[in-house]
Copies of this chain bind each other. A is one copy, B any other.
Amino acid sequence: MKNEAKFYHAGCPVCIDAETMILETIDKDRFEIEVIHLGDQPERISEAESKGIKSVPALSVGLSVFHINFGASIEDLKG
């Protein structure tokens, strides 16, 4: 069974660069990666927050969250 990784972003240029890097480098034989655009799917903002995500782009793997560079804060996505 593959491990689950979730990449949260909001479509900003910083996010796209990070997404490209993640999709290029991650071991797809071992990880199933889901890409979630919080601008298009605002109903998933609370899920992101519950994982400890404070800004996007961010990668969630297991119980860990890694904020990559800085695109936008979660607060700013709540509109």
Contacts and interface: CB of A to CB of B under 8 A. Distances in A.
Interface in A58-79: 59, 61, 64, 66-69
A21 B5 CA distance: 11
A27 interface: yes
Interface of A: 5, 17-18, 21, 24-31, 59, 61, 64, 66-69
User: How many monomers of this protein are in the complex?
Assistant: 2
A66 B64 contact: no
A58 to B, nearest CB: 10
A61 B21 contact: yes
Given A66-B69, A68-B67, A61 B25 contact: yes
11 contacts: A18-B66, A21-B64, A24-B61, A25-B25, A25-B26, A25-B30, A26-B27, A27-B27, A27-B29, A66-B69, A68-B68
